Amino acid sequence: MRIRLLGTAAAEGWPGLFCRCEACARARALGGRNLRSRSGATVDGGFQFDLGPDVYLHVLAGYTDLAAVEHLLVTHGHEDHLAPATLAMRREPFAHGLPAPLTIYGNHRVMERVRAAVADPSALGVRLETVRPFQSFTAGDATVIPLPADHDPNEACLLYLFGRGGRWLLYGHDSGWFPEPTWDYLAAWAARHHRLDVALVDCTNGPAPGQRNHMGLEAASRVRQRLIAIGAAGDETRVVVTHFSHNGGLLHEELVARAAPVGLEVAYDGLEIVLD
C-alpha cells in the first residue's frame, strides 16, 4: 500500500489565505514543509480521500492523477474537503480522452452538494454511492468501513477504515475524540485479529488543548494510546497527525519536536508512506 498525503492544512490553509499572523508570516518566510494546502490523500493512485479546493495544486505537484482515480471517499461536505465543481472538468472540451469511471462515496450532504454542482453526474462518468456508518462496502478491491466522526453536529461526518492487500489504514480526520460507538467498533474489529498499519489523526489544534470537533497533539497522543490498548494498533503502527491550523502556531519542525516523544509522526504536503 502506498499512501500519499496531498494536503495537510485546515480550512484556511497555512499560510492562511488572508492572514497576516506571525505563524503565517513565518511559514511564508521559511517555506518547505511549513507551507500546507487543504487536506486530502490517495492510496495506490486509484483511491482518493476528499476533493478539496487545492486539488489542482496537488495535480501540478504530481501528488495525484485525477484521471486515474476510480474511487473517491469523501469524509464530509465542508468546502475544504469537497469542491464538487471540479468534476465538471472531466468532460470535453476541458478534458480529452476519457478519465477512469469514478464512484464517489459519502453521506447525504456530500451527495446533495455534488448534485447541486453537477446536474448529470452520469454524463461525466461519475456514479454516486451514499454510505452509512458501520456498513462495510467494497470499492474496487478494497474493503471500506465508514465510522462516525465527532465534527459537525449538523452532518453525519465520517472516518474511514480502509483495507487493501492485507494492509489497513484509518483515515481519522476531521474529528475530535472518536465517538464511543466508533471506539467499540474498532475494538471488535481488532478482536477479529485485525490491526492498523497507519492511522491519520486530526491535529488541527496543534499544542492547544481540546478534543471536540477537532483535536491537538495531546488528544492525538491519547488516541494512539487507546488504539494500542484495544489491540487495534501496536508499537509498529504509524500514527500520523495532520490537518493543522495556523492558530496552533507551531511550524513543522516545532510540531515534530513535540510529537516524536509521544509516538506521533507529523504529516506534510506530499508525504508518502509505503507499506511493503
Q: pLDDT tens across 19-64, in order?
A: 999 999 999 999 999 999 999 999 999 999 999 999 999 999 999 9
Instruction: Give the rounded percent of residues in the chain with a pLDDT score beyond 90.
Output: 98
- Write the CB contacts of 166 (distance below 8 Å, at least 6 apart in sequence): none
Using 50, 70 and 90 to split pLDDT, how confident is the model at 262? very high
Nearest-angstrom CA–CA distance, 180 and 149: 10
Stretch 204-218: mean pLDDT, rounded? 96
pTM check: above 0.85? yes
Is the pLDDT reported for residue 157 higher than 90? yes
Residue 216 confidence (pLDDT): 98
Using 50, 70 and 90 to split pLDDT, how confident is the model at 107? very high
CB 127 within 8 A of CB 103: yes
Which secondary-structure segment (H or E) carries 227?
helix 217-229
Nearest-angstrom CA–CA distance, 34 and 28: 8
With residues binned 3-state (H G I as helix, E B as strand, rest as coil), the percentages for the chain, rounded to 5, are 30, 25, 45
Nearest-angstrom CA–CA distance, 11 and 13: 6
Distances (CA, A) of 256 to 80, 122, 241, 253: 24, 44, 10, 5
Is the pLDDT reported for residue 183 higher than 90? yes
In the chain the domains, ranked by start, together with CATH numbers, are: 2-274 (3.60.15.10)
Is the pLDDT reported for residue 98 higher than 90? no
Mean pLDDT (the chain) is 97
Residue 94 confidence (pLDDT): 95
Region of residue 25 (phi > 0: left; psi between -120 and 50: alpha; otherwise: beta)? alpha
Nearest-angstrom CA–CA distance, 177 and 155: 16
Stretch 199-213: mean pLDDT, rounded? 96
**Residue 162 exposure: Cα atoms within 13 Å on the Cβ side:** 28
Stretch 118-136: mean pLDDT, rounded? 97
Residue 15 confidence (pLDDT): 98
Residue 276 confidence (pLDDT): 85
Q: Give the cell for residue 87.
A: 468534476
Stretch 158-179: mean pLDDT, rounded? 98
CB 256 within 8 A of CB 247: no
Question: Which of 73, 107, 67, 106 has its CA nearest to residue 87?
Answer: 67
